[in-house]
């Protein structure tokens, strides 16, 4: 699997929505006014009810999910922001993680993205601007449980940083998490949009993590995303600024030559950054719910995601066969361990059998990993 080490074939997306859809009364929120000031020339259209807006869009477009990415709706989220990571599912070991969904959909277009199915009925790209309500809710929960540690991520239904220069959530989240004694914020991204992070003076309680794949896989399966080297340069800049950083090799995609591709990925990572200073690398293999397969094949006919056999697990998701997953985890874990004796490596969304096969133990029996699992 040849690799383009320049990583420059995919320019960073300078995203500008075609249209801004504004929920009635949204301008009363400071973040909405901030976003509008950053996009003065983008056409605006008001709406009262986002479901009506979504129905209009669905009736007018062919690739509804793809079209949803081209516009941006500013709305107010009316429910509870904080929820337990959906990795809590039958047969899976979960890393005890909380998510807040500040926005939905993503400017990138990865072939394997579960949002294509998950947001199928509601594909509008939405940014919720009532960030004050989120911070109030978090403050209440963190105060109510002072003896618990909260690890909170914003990247479940979107990329945490891809839009941060247009929708600057981090300018609100970073100062808030800096003050917490029992919570950390994880910003999970494929982006290099780190300007707000570099302009912020305090990295306390913030972890920034990048999803990585070999550059050839990025070019084929992660459309519109910054390349490997751009991501690693962003990670290095954040590390230099004092942020804690992590990496997700997720989804690991097993196409012919994957061993060499991931070996090169580990080498480039470790040659670019002081790997011993990285908080963790997580490993997770490609997985999907059955309904996603036909969507992927329709939207990404050139994909190589289905070159191997997949079988459903207890949680209903399809994965590579267990021996192949074991082999991939052991091989990639071996590459990483050959470059660092202290790096924390864990498996994401995997069964306890795979944990035991690959690591010889369950996560709770490893002190180093307890910081991630004993929350
Ligand atoms: S970066 Fe993440 S959220 Fe965005 S398209 Fe890719 S997989 Fe989906």
Could you give the number of structural domains in the chain? 1
Which of 106, 109, 114, 227, when mutated, tests ligand 1's pocket best, judged by the most ligand atoms within 8 Å of its CB?
A: 106
Whole-angstrom distance, CA of residue 194 vs CA of residue 235? 9
* 198 lies in some domain: yes
Whole-angstrom distance, CA of residue 302 vs CA of residue 111? 9
Q: What is the extent of the structural domain holding 178?
A: 20-373
Our answer on whether the CB atom of 250 is closer than 6 Å to any ligand 1 atom is: no
Query: Rounded to whole angstroms, what are the CA distances from 217 to 2, 146, 203, 309?
Result: 10, 43, 31, 18
Please state the separation of Cα 181 from the chain's center in Å.
25
Q: Which residues pair with 244 in a beta bridge?
A: 207
* 2 lies in some domain: no
Our answer on whether the CB atom of 197 is closer than 6 Å to any ligand 1 atom is: no
> Please, which pLDDT band fits residue 56 given cuts at 50, 70 and 90?
confident
> Please, which pLDDT band fits residue 159 given cuts at 50, 70 and 90?
very high
* 8 lies in some domain: no
For the cut 90, the answer to whether the pLDDT of residue 247 exceeds it is yes
Closest ligand 1 atom, residue 105 Cα: 3
Closest ligand 1 atom, residue 106 Cα: 4
Our answer on whether the CB atom of 217 is closer than 6 Å to any ligand 1 atom is: no
* 283 lies in some domain: yes
* 7 lies in some domain: no
Please state the separation of Cα 117 from the chain's center in Å.
16
Centre of ligand 1 to C-alpha 77, Å, is 21
Which of 99, 159, 210, 217, when mutated, tests ligand 1's pocket best, judged by the most ligand atoms within 8 Å of its CB?
A: 159
Q: What is the CATH number of the domain that holds 362?
A: 3.80.30.30
For ligand 1, atom 3: residue with the closest CA: 158
Our answer on whether the CB atom of 159 is closer than 6 Å to any ligand 1 atom is: yes
* 71 lies in some domain: yes
Decide if 216 contacts 253 (C-beta within 8 A).
no
Residue 2's pLDDT is: 34
For ligand 1, atom 2: residue with the closest CA: 159
* 107 lies in some domain: yes
Our answer on whether the CB atom of 69 is closer than 6 Å to any ligand 1 atom is: no
Closest ligand 1 atom, residue 157 Cα: 3
Quote the pTM value.
0.90
Q: Which of 98-107, 227-236, 239-248, 352-361 has the lowest mean pLDDT?
A: 352-361
* 126 lies in some domain: yes
Q: Is 18 exposed, middle or buried (0-12, 13-18, 19+ CB in 10 A)?
A: exposed
Copy the structure tokens of residue 313: 């697990």
Q: What is the CA radius of gyration of the chain?
A: 20
Whole-angstrom distance, CA of residue 354 vs CA of residue 151? 24
> Please, which pLDDT band fits residue 53 given cuts at 50, 70 and 90?
confident
Residue 363's pLDDT is: 60
For ligand 1, atom 7: residue with the closest CA: 113
Residue 57's pLDDT is: 76
Which of 103, 105, 110, when mutated, tests ligand 1's pocket best, judged by the most ligand atoms within 8 Å of its CB?
A: 110
Which of 103, 155, 190, when mutated, tests ligand 1's pocket best, judged by the most ligand atoms within 8 Å of its CB?
A: 190
Decide if 208 contacts 237 (C-beta within 8 A).
no
With CA atoms as reference, report the closest residue to 317 among 251, 264, 368: 251
- Mean per-residue pLDDT of the chain: 88
Copy the structure tokens of residue 363: 């996560």
């Amino acid at each position: 699997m040849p690799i383009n080490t320049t990583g420059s074939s995919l320019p960073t997306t300078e995203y500008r929505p075609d249209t801004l859809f504004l929920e009635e009364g949204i301008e009363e929120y400071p973040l909405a006014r901030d976003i509008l000031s950053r996009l003065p020339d983008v056409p605006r259209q008001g709406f009262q009810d986002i479901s009506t807006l979504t129905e209009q869009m669905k009736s007018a477009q062919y690739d509804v999910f793809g079209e949803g990415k081209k516009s941006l709706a500013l709305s107010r989220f009316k429910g509870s922001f904080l929820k337990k990571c959906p990795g809590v599912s039958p047969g899976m070991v979960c890393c005890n993680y909380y998510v807040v969904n500040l926005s939905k959909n993503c400017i990138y277009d990865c072939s394997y993205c579960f949002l294509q199915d998950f947001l199928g009925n509601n594909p509008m790209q939405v940014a919720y601007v009532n960030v004050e309500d989120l911070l109030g809710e978090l403050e209440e929960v963190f105060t109510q449980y002072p003896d618990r540690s909260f690890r909170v991520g914003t990247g479940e239904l979107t990329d945490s940083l891809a839009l941060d220069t247009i929708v600057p959530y981090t300018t609100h989240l970073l100062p808030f998490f800096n003050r917490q004694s029992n919570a950390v914020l994880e910003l999970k991204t494929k982006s290099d949009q780190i300007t707000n992070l570099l302009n912020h003076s305090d990295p306390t309680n913030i972890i920034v993590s990048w999803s990585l794949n070999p550059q050839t896989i990025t070019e084929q399966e992660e459309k519109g995303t910054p390349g490997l080297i751009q991501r690693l340069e962003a990670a290095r800049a954040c590390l230099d600024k004092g942020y804690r950083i992590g990496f997700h090799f997720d989804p690991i995609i097993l196409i012919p030559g994957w061993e060499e591709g991931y070996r090169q990925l580990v080498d480039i990572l470790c040659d670019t950054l002081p790997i011993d200073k990285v908080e963790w690398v997580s490993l997770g293999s490609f997985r999907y719910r059955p309904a996603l397969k036909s969507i992927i094949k329709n939207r990404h006919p050139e994909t190589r995601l289905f070159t191997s056999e997949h079988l459903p697990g207890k949680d209903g998701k399809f994965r590579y066969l267990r021996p192949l997953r074991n082999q991939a985890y052991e091989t990639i874990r071996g590459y990483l361990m050959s470059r660092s004796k202290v790096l924390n490596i864990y498996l994401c969304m995997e069964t306890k059998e795979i944990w035991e096969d690959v690591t010889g133990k369950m996560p709770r029996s490893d002190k180093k990993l307890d910081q991630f699992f004993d929350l």
